[in-house]
Structure 1
Amino acid sequence: MDKTEQAKKRAAFQAVDEVLSDRQVVGIGSGSTVVYAVERIAERVRSEDLKITCVPTSFQARELIINAGLQLSDISQHSNLDVAFDGADEVDSKLNAIKGGGGCHLQEKIVAHNAKLFIIVADFRKKSKFLCEQWKRGIPVEVLPLAYVPVMKHLKKLNGKPTLRKGVRKAGPVVTDNGNFVVDVDFGILEPDKLQTIDIAMHMIPGVIETGLFVGMADRAYFGMEDGSVVVI
C-alpha cells in the first residue's frame, strides 16, 4: 500500500473510531477513502456487536455496504441520520468542500444535509487553503440532460468555463446514478467568502439540479498526512 492509500486508511479509521457508536444510522459516502471507512465500520460491528444502519449515497456505496455485510437502508426510511462519512475532492481552511469528481454529489448532499454530523475523510492531497487551489477540474454541476446547452451558456455568464464531462471507455457524456449529465465549471481559485454567492447563482439556473460545492456543511475533516499523522479540523 503506497503512502496515499495508507493516509486514506488512517484518516478513515480514526474518524470511525472517534465518531461511530452503537445504534446509529450512518450515511455512507462515495469514493476511494470511504472504502476504508466501511472496512472499519464492518470490523467494529463484528467485534463489538454494534447495531448500525447504513444509508448509501450512490450505487458504489450501496455495493460497499452489501459486500461488507452491513445493514442497508435508504434515505426514505431513515431521513434523520446520526452521522455521514464521505470523502472530498478538496477541502478549504473553513471546511468548505468540492465533491462530485465521481459524479455522486446530489445524493451525497442529500445524505449530508440530513445528518447530525457530516464527517469528511481524505488524504493530504485534498487539504487546501482555498478551493480549486489543487483541484483543477472545476466545480461539478449535475444538469438535466435536455437543458445542458442553455445551462452551459448561463454558466459562462457567471464567468465560469463549463465543460460537459465525457465518459471514459464510453462514447458520449457521463451519466449519473440519477440519469443526468455532469458539467464541470472552472471559476479559478475560490476564496471562502465567494462560495455561497457562486453556489446560489448556479442553483438559480433552470436545469441545474445540484452543485458540488458543499458550503458550511462539514462538521469535521480528517486528513491522513504523508508523515503518518492524522490532522483533524
Structure 2
Amino acid sequence: MCSCLQDNQKIGIGSGSTIVYAVDRLAERVSAEGLRVQCVPTSFQARQLVTARALPLTDLEQCPRLDLAIDGADEVDRDRVCIKGGGGCLAQEKIVAAAAQRFVVIADTSKRSQRLGDHWKRGVPIEVLPMAYRTVQLAIEGRHGGTAPLRLAKQKAGPVVTDNGNLLLDWLFPDGDHDWKTLSVQLKMIPGVVETGLFVDMAECVIFGGPDGTEELH
C-alpha cells in the first residue's frame, strides 16, 4: 500500500478493522514526509478514523475523481473478486472504489480463497430499500437458490440499518463455481436492490498480510 501513496493525492478510505492499520500508516507518512492528501471516507466509522488522525477530509461532491481507494474485504478469490459488506457499508464503499483510478484491497491471509465461500460463510451482503426487502428476498431465493435472510442487529431488537437508512440481506449462495460478474448484474437488476457486496473487476491488486508481518501481493 505504501508504494501506492504519493503527494497531492485524493484517497478513498474504506471501512472495517483492517483499514485502521492503513489509516495509521497513512497518517505516519503524511506527518513524516509532509504529504498533502485529501481523504474521502466510505462510512461514519471511516470518517471518524480520518478525523481522529487529523487527516484532511473531503467528499465526492468536491472531489468526484480519486487517485486511489484503499479498503479491506471479507473474502477474495483467485480472480480478485471480493465479497465486501460484512460491516454494512458496501454501497458507499463501492461508490468510492469506482470513483478511484486505482483500487487496492488490504486483508489478512485468512481472507484469501480459491473461490468465494471457501472461508467466508456469511454470504453476499445485499443492501435493499426497506419496503422491498421481502420481495427482493423471494426473488433472490427463487431465481438463484440458497437463502437470503434479513440481517438482524445484535445489540438491539430489529434489523441492521445501513448508513443510507436501508436494510441488508445476506445471500447464502449455493456451493460451487459461479459467474460472479453475471450474478452481480442480475442481482442489481432486482427492483429494490441498492447495491451488492460483490466487487468484480475492481481491485487492481490485493495485499495480504500474514501473522508474521509478511506481505503477499495478488
TM-score bracket for the superposition, by shorter chain length: over 0.9
Residues 190 and 116 from structure 1, CA distance in 2 versus in 1: closer, same or farther, beyond 3 angstroms? farther
Equivalents in 2 of 1:119, 1:208: separation in Å? 26
Contact 2:145–2:174 at 8 Å: present in 1 too? Answer: no
Identity of aligned residues (%): 51
Report SS of the residue matched to 2:191: coil
Which of 132, 140, 154 is the matching residue for 1:168? Answer: 154
Unaligned runs of 5+ in 2: none
Asked if 1:214 corresponds to 2:199, the answer is yes
Q: Tell which deviates more after alignment, 154-163 or 59-68.
A: 154-163
- Residue 150 of structure 1 corresponds to which residue in structure 2? 135
The one-character-per-residue Cα deviations of 1:117-174 (angstroms, maximum 9, x if unpaired) are 0000000110001011100000000000000011101011121310100001111000
Asked if 1:71 corresponds to 2:52, the answer is no
- Residue 170 of structure 2 corresponds to which residue in structure 1? 184
- Residue 181 of structure 2 corresponds to which residue in structure 1? 196
Equivalents in 2 of 1:189, 1:226: separation in Å? 29
Report the AA paired with residue 95 of structure 1: R
Higher relative contact order (CA 8 A, sep 6+): 1
Runs of 4+ in 1 over 2 A off after TM superposition: 188-191
The one-character-per-residue Cα deviations of 1:178-228 (angstroms, maximum 9, x if unpaired) are 00000000113453x610121111111100000000011000100012343
Report the AA paired with residue 136 of structure 1: K
Contact 1:132–1:188 at 8 Å: present in 2 too? Answer: no
TM-score by length of 1: 0.91
Which of 50, 54, 75 is the matching residue for 2:39? Answer: 54
Equivalents in 1 of 2:10, 2:155: separation in Å? 36
Equivalents in 1 of 2:207, 2:50: separation in Å? 21
Report the AA paired with residue 150 of structure 2: L
Report SS of the residue matched to 2:201: coil
Equivalents in 2 of 1:114, 1:219: separation in Å? 13
- Residue 4 of structure 1 corresponds to which residue in structure 2? none
Number of aligned residues: 217
Report SS of the residue matched to 2:213: coil
Which of 79, 86, 106 is the matching residue for 2:91? Answer: 106
Report SS of the residue matched to 2:36: coil
TM-score by length of 2: 0.97
Unaligned runs of 5+ in 1: 1-14
What does 1:108-147 align with in structure 2 at a 5 Å threshold?
108-147=93-132
Report the AA paired with residue 149 of structure 2: T
Report the AA paired with residue 145 of structure 1: P
